[in-house]
Amino acid sequence: MNIKRLTLTQKRALLGILFIMPWLLGFVFLFATPLFQSIHFSLSNMKIAPGGGYTLDFIGWDNFKNAMSIDPNFNRILTQSLSEMAWNVPMILFFSLFTATLLNTRFVGRPFARAIFFLPVILASGAIAAAQTSGLIQLTGSSEMAKELGQQQNGFDPLTLAFTLSDAGLPMWFIDYIISAVQRIYEIIKSSGVQILIFLAALQSVPVSMYEVAKMEGATAYETFWKITFPMVSPLILTNIIYTIIDSFTNSQVTTTIYNTAFQSQNFGLSAAMSWIYTAVISIILIIVGILVSRRVFYYN
């Protein structure tokens, strides 16, 4: 029996298909039907029938027009969420890369330090809140309470930092940005756990021989970082940017508004239209960011 052997390209294509197969099966069997139903809802006026079920009357683009021009809050909340995203993503990426670089160095207690930085992500996750609500675990406090206590007891004086940075000659917009980052340090740490893990994996994949050659050539730590480390982890910077943008919209005010419009105001058509506008805006941002950042990404192989 003559069995045709696969080429390297065909093997890689097969591995790629197997890699996305769990997501593809989940999308087809779990998400495809609700996705097309939401399109139908967004173009219809949905009414709950007295005896159960619902009726749909096709109204075209009216729900989209209502969301963009009649609803008093949606445009303002959407703009505010986009501004917060543009403000937060650079902070989270810089903190994640800086922390991952520190955690990648060898020191006593490194696994414990890594666990500490990832702990806020676990405590703030919905799984912990659900387990506590159902009585499976009992926590003595909450992440929100820890955040409030931290803000009350940290003794941070923004004026001192502002005067120090101003004396160093930094522009005022950058000083405001640094002070905002320090004041929201808990939120940044909570949002950086996954990104730190991704950067750690990227840092550990850099060949040690590169650092050895740089050391033999007399390169400084600054030159080693910008000539070796940063280019080698740049593909994962793009990954982290996309992940952070999507994650920043997960619990935004827009999501809450869409949920309240559907399940409190019972206006499912308007809620579906808001969801699709929101999805379109995020998709456009991701495409633009992906095109711009991918031009600067370095791929070793």
Given a contact cutoff of 8 angstroms between Cβ atoms, the answer to whether 118 and 197 are in contact is yes
Given a contact cutoff of 8 angstroms between Cβ atoms, the answer to whether 295 and 301 are in contact is no
Other CB atoms within a 10 A radius of the CB of residue 288 amount to 10
| Average per-residue pLDDT for the chain | 82
pTM of the model: 0.74
- pLDDT higher than threshold 80 for residue 82: yes
- Reference 212, options 204, 230, 222, 224; nearest CA is 224
The DSSP secondary-structure symbol of 6 reads P
What is the dihedral sign for C-alpha 41, 44, 45, 50? negative
Contact residues for 204 (Cβ-Cβ < 8 A; gap 6+) = 104
Could you give the CA distance from residue 290 to residue 286 in angstroms, rounded to a whole number? 6
What percent of the chain is predicted at pLDDT more than 70? 84
Give residue-wise pLDDT tens across range 257-269: 888 888 888 888 8
| Residue 225 identity | F
Give residue-wise pLDDT tens across range 83-123: 888 888 888 898 888 888 888 887 777 777 777 766 766 66
pLDDT for residue 142 = 54
Phi, psi of 110 (to 5 degrees): -60, -45
- Reference 114, options 41, 53, 199; nearest CA is 199
Q: Please state at what angle helix 230-248 crosses helix 193-204, rounded to 10 degrees.
A: 160
- The half-sphere exposure of 170 on its side-chain side, counting CA atoms within 13 A, is 15
Give residue-wise pLDDT tens across range 194-238: 888 889 888 888 888 888 999 998 889 889 988 888 888 888 888
